Structure 1
Amino acid sequence: MPIRFFKPFSLRLVLIVPYVVLVIGLAIAIGMLSYSAGSQAVATVSSHLLLETVGRIAQAVDRHIVGSSAVLETAFPTGVPAPQSIESDFHEIRSRFWVATTLHTDPNNYVYFGNEAGQGLGLFRHTADEVELRMKLRPDEHRAIYTFSGIDGPLQFQRREANLFDPRTRPWYADGKRNNGHTWTSVYIDFGTRQLVATRARQVHTASGSFDGVVATDVSLKALNDFVGRLKVSPNGVAFIIEPDGNLIASSASRNVVTLPDGSSGRLNAGRSDHGLLKAAYDTVQGRIAARDDKDLPRVFDFHTADGSLVHAAFDRIRDDAGLDWVMIVAMPASDFLGGVRENVSRTIILATLAVLFAIFIGLSILGWVSDDLRRLTEAARRVGNGELDAPVGIERRDEIGALARSFETMQNRLRTDRLTGLANREAFMDQLRRRIDTAREDRRKHGLGVLFIDLNGFKAINDTYGHDAGDRALQEIGRRLSDHVRENDLVARYAGDEFVILLDPVDDRSSLLSVRSHIERSLREPLESIGSPHSPVTSGGAVGAALFPEDGDEAEGLLKSADRAMYADKHGEAGTT
């Protein structure tokens, strides 16, 4: 009788085991495919989100400092010689300083001048009509403080400063005297507000071309720090702005000014921050800053923290001819995005494993159903990776794959939508504008496209008077109002801060575009229902710039810039008449 070492398998077992193994293998494959698709989608979304966030910060910096040059040019236009003494041209200088501080009240509400004779004159704007004049006409006298209302209002003496102020000893004067042309001082702490300030200065020459004095304007960085502090990067992400030496200008995760042991205030260096992610991001990018590695900016990169955690990050750099050199960095832990993906993949594997018990009854059709949806999800992820942010997923399942698809769609929607107003965001608007322009070119149609660029008036006053919650409600109401005043095929988007853009498609001609522009302007001047009351209405209004395709630009960026320039022309025109 032969010895049998193995008990023969039953036909039932022979049929079931390979199928069970196949289902388990399929479950593993599903998990891997799900994780791969989710990771690819997350990598794409996080990259776009990083670039969008660092771009928003760069735009905020640019808008924060862009007015300083115009302020100095208005205060002392190029070619206008310095006066022999301040009192000889007092009224003309005072009028120019008045106009200069109306251009960009936030943050350039203070412009001042000092000369080699030790004279000094400064105008600080408190409100649209109330200003403070700070003046000294002799080197040995203490600076006198006056107030007045209106451009030609009479001066009201208030007091004389206790300390002797000599403009020639101030850092801004020394920097302006040392550098030919515009120059930025180092960022410093204002002794009164304990907030960071940067000063832009420029030489003023006599008629013969010799140096006579320096005109300067202060740029408070508080609003910039507040903007970065309000950024919702990710649950554990961080955004910050630094100077090349690592000193913080603004941060969403820590203060930029700290109290020193002796009770004085000092600046915080990112390399000494107690916020681990902020410090790690700075340490990673520090070498690139020192090497002035500015190619292909903004740039996305990855790094690992000391505990081995993966972090996605991006940085950009902004400089100008006056010596400004700031670096913007955004960093987000990969776990902020991958947690949901891993959870969904785990659930998918568990459900697929449980499905082994019912494998005989389920049939192979379920495999095709699952793989088909996975292919659709992978295709959607691939299209997103190619820049098609609105690529439809179209999966209506209620299981984990459906949850992953909905998470993916949510991330897509988040990338396209402004969170506060629910309107399209800047990137979605630009994508749609490019598509409409391409369509217009292909159809060779006679109808053009129109773009309106809107900048609200008095929005800072609403925030200051009623609070930021009221400001948010005002932005939401303006967004709804703009949406209610356009056609179904038009697109309204929030561009940035208190700026909105509208894509009008089609537009017959420029007169039609200007008619819509006037209609929008009237709607913006209506009282805000979300704040104020019938007895005390609150209005905003806004400057609206219009551009027509293809006359004002045959590319999306050019068309938008034309509308932006028209808006600024409208806003400056209004400012000049007030």
Structure 2
Amino acid sequence: MSQTSESSLSLRQVLTVPYVALILILAVTIGILSYVAGSRAVATVSDHLLIETVGRIGQAVDRHVVGSGAVLEAVFPNGMPAPASIESDLGSLRTRMWIATSLHIDPNNYAYYGNRAGQFMGLWRNSLDDGELRLKLKAEDARTFYNFKGISGELQEASREAKVYDPRLRPWYKAGESARMHTWTAVYIDFRHGGLVATRARRVLNAAGEFEGVVATDISLKGLNDFVANLALSKNGIAFIVEPNGDLIASSASPNIARQPDGSNKRLAAADSGHPLLAATYAEVRDTLASLKQAKLPQTRTFSGPDGQTIHAAFDRVKDDAGLEWITVVAVPASDFMQGVTENVLRTAIVGGFAALLAVVLGLRILGWVAGDLRRLSQSARAIGEGDLESPVGIRRNDEIGQLARSFEVMQQRLRTDKLTGLANRDAFMRRLDGRIHRHRRLADGIPFAVLFVDLNHFKQVNDRLGHEAGDKVLVEIAERLREAVRASDFVARYAGDEFVVLLDRVENRDQAERVRAHIEHVLAQPLRSVDPAPLGEQALGGAVGMALFPLDGDEAELLMRVADREMYTRKFGARGERPWGDSEATRQ
């Protein structure tokens, strides 16, 4: 007698349950794959954003300290001998100190000088108009403080110190005395305002070539700390600047100075900051730098932080020729990056379950749509990480994935090109120029490069007579001409309006750059092809091209741009027989 098994499930259940289970398994599988793809995308994007952020901090440090060298050179220009007595050069020295503290009054508002005879003179700028002169002409005297207004204002005695201040015993004097070039003292706490200060010093020789004294300037680091504290990071992200010995210079997560029980202040080390993520990140960076002395920087690291959470970090080292060496660090928990991806995977699972119960086919299509979007995000993130800024994301949604996609597209748009001409935009050009300058300094590349500033002639006539649509066509045509007129290694960008800029990557000398400029001016002077030039009459379009050669005309990006811009206006108005800086320049400013 055969035995038969009876199922307690209905036919509908038999047909539906396995299929629904299969769909649920598929939904879970897709969710896992989506999560993995999203994780990879986030890892790529996080590295890119963290390196960009740590680079911004490094640029802020450069801007903060770069003026200190100019201050010292303004007080005692290179080759100017120091007098044997401050009293013999008091008026001239006071004038130079006033000029020096006017160069970068924030943060370089204090310049001072001490000599081997124990004399001292310092000028503190309270504002653009008010100053304080600190003076002692005999080693055994205390310093006298004088208030005055303007560069040559009458000195009015305000106070005199009770203790004798001997500059020869101060750290800045000893550092400058022993160093052959510019040097930085260690960062210290200023007793007047209780904030962190760094001092840059340089020895000064007399007419016989012998050591005579030390000139120095103080830099308050409060502005740098405020910049780091106000960085737009994630909810739990941190940024900080630290010396190689671990002492904090600036931090977004903790103070850099600790109050002692006796009421005094003490510098705070990263390891003692009381912030677990900051201490753990510094330990990771410290160990990495110790094991990779020659590592290419900036670098990113992923490590296990407090409570086992995954941390993404980026760090860099800021150096200058005076011995400054600081480390800039940014760290963000992976959960901050993954929050949107995690929420989206959960949503995917809910949609998959609902689709399995109500509409299997619709559910599968929705899951496939979500998975496809995440894959496109992953591919776009990977492309951005590899430097490809042209591939569109191609996602139009109103949820978190859509927000992330639009963030990608906004980032691409900012980093990529000018919308009209297809050239690089102004920000991209300035980043390329800054990078070229840093590469020159880092690699000691002796071959100069040039910046060309192009301004079209009579372009307003094109818009007035042919219309703005024709003007746009002309800009596109000019952009194409400029691209074809230079080498593949050169970089062309639209600066603003009818202004373009070109970075000639490597030029042997000024003559070679002049030949390129002449070629570009010739190319620009050719008849227009994109519009009918007849309504323009005899006025050829053409353009004026200003040039600045690095490093002969400047060693900073902004200075090179100003030189090239000014030369362009000189050539433009000189060709017309007008004054270079007439109404047009005033309007432009």
TM-score (structure 1 length as normaliser): 0.72
The aligned amino acid for 2:427 is F
2:277–2:306 Cα contact (<8 Å) kept: no
Matched residue pairs, number?
A: 469
Q: Among residues 428, 431, 443, which one is paired with 1:430 in the alignment?
A: 428
Q: What residue number does 2:460 align with?
A: none
The aligned amino acid for 1:430 is A
Q: What residue number does 1:125 align with?
A: 125
1:49–1:415 Cα contact (<8 Å) kept: no
Q: Among residues 387, 403, 406, which one is paired with 1:406 in the alignment?
A: 403
- CA-CA distance at 1:20 after TM superposition: 2.7
1:33–1:374 Cα contact (<8 Å) kept: no
Q: What residue number does 1:109 align with?
A: 109
Question: Bigger shift: 114-123 or 362-371?
Answer: 362-371
Q: Among residues 524, 539, 560, which one is paired with 1:565 in the alignment?
A: 560
1:132–1:145 Cα contact (<8 Å) kept: yes
- CA-CA distance at 1:451 after TM superposition: 8.4
Q: Deviations over 1:319-369 (max 9, x none)?
A: 222221111111100011112211110111111012111245749766765
Q: Deviations over 1:410-455 (max 9, x none)?
A: 355368669xxxxxxx999318998xxxxxxxxxxxxx98589xxx
The aligned amino acid for 1:408 is A
1:51–1:314 Cα contact (<8 Å) kept: yes
- CA-CA distance at 1:548 after TM superposition: 8.9
The aligned amino acid for 1:405 is G
Q: How does 1:18-417 map to 2 (within 5 A)?
A: 19-291=19-291, 293-359=293-359, 362=362, 373-388=373-388, 391-397=391-397, 402-410=399-407, 413=410
Q: Secondary structure at the match of 1:340?
A: helix
Taking only the aligned residue pairs, the percentage that are identical comes to: 51
Q: Deviations over 1:270-304 (max 9, x none)?
A: 11111010000011112234456242101011110
Q: Is 1:503 aligned with 2:495? A: yes
1:294–1:317 Cα contact (<8 Å) kept: no
The aligned amino acid for 2:407 is T
2:34–2:371 Cα contact (<8 Å) kept: no
1:254–1:275 Cα contact (<8 Å) kept: yes
- CA-CA distance at 1:125 after TM superposition: 1.1
1:45–1:411 Cα contact (<8 Å) kept: no
Q: Secondary structure at the match of 2:307?
A: coil
2:397–2:403 Cα contact (<8 Å) kept: no
Looking at CA atoms only, which structure, 1 or 2, has the larger radius of gyration? 2
Q: Secondary structure at the match of 2:313?
A: strand
Q: Secondary structure at the match of 2:271?
A: helix
1:259–1:265 Cα contact (<8 Å) kept: yes
Structure 1 pair 451–185 and aligned structure 2 pair: CA distance change class (3 A): farther
Structure 1 pair 508–105 and aligned structure 2 pair: CA distance change class (3 A): closer
2:316–2:327 Cα contact (<8 Å) kept: yes
Gaps of 5+ in 1: 419-425, 435-447, 453-485, 491-500, 511-546, 572-578
Q: Secondary structure at the match of 2:387?
A: coil
Distance in 1 between residues matched to 2:544 and 2:282, nearest whole Å: 44
The aligned amino acid for 2:167 is P
2:242–2:328 Cα contact (<8 Å) kept: yes
- CA-CA distance at 1:566 after TM superposition: 3.6
Structure 1 pair 118–365 and aligned structure 2 pair: CA distance change class (3 A): closer
- CA-CA distance at 1:564 after TM superposition: 4.3
Q: How does 1:529-548 map to 2 (within 5 A)?
A: none
Structure 1 pair 548–410 and aligned structure 2 pair: CA distance change class (3 A): farther
1:552–1:562 Cα contact (<8 Å) kept: no
- CA-CA distance at 1:79 after TM superposition: 1.1
The aligned amino acid for 2:353 is T
Structure 1 pair 374–303 and aligned structure 2 pair: CA distance change class (3 A): closer
Distance in 2 between residues matched to 1:570 and 1:153, nearest whole Å: 37
Structure 1 pair 570–278 and aligned structure 2 pair: CA distance change class (3 A): farther
1:433–1:503 Cα contact (<8 Å) kept: no
User: What do you get for the CA RMSD once the two structures are aligned?
Assistant: 3.8
Q: Secondary structure at the match of 1:199?
A: strand
1:389–1:412 Cα contact (<8 Å) kept: no
Distance in 1 between residues matched to 2:341 and 2:29, nearest whole Å: 15
1:45–1:415 Cα contact (<8 Å) kept: no
Distance in 2 between residues matched to 1:356 and 1:428, nearest whole Å: 52
Distance in 1 between residues matched to 2:430 and 2:176, nearest whole Å: 46
Structure 1 pair 363–252 and aligned structure 2 pair: CA distance change class (3 A): closer
Structure 1 pair 433–272 and aligned structure 2 pair: CA distance change class (3 A): closer
The aligned amino acid for 1:99 is I
Q: Secondary structure at the match of 1:307?
A: helix
- CA-CA distance at 1:12 after TM superposition: 5.2
Gaps of 5+ in 2: 416-423, 433-450, 456-470, 477-492, 502-516, 518-542, 567-589
Distance in 1 between residues matched to 2:312 and 2:425, nearest whole Å: 20
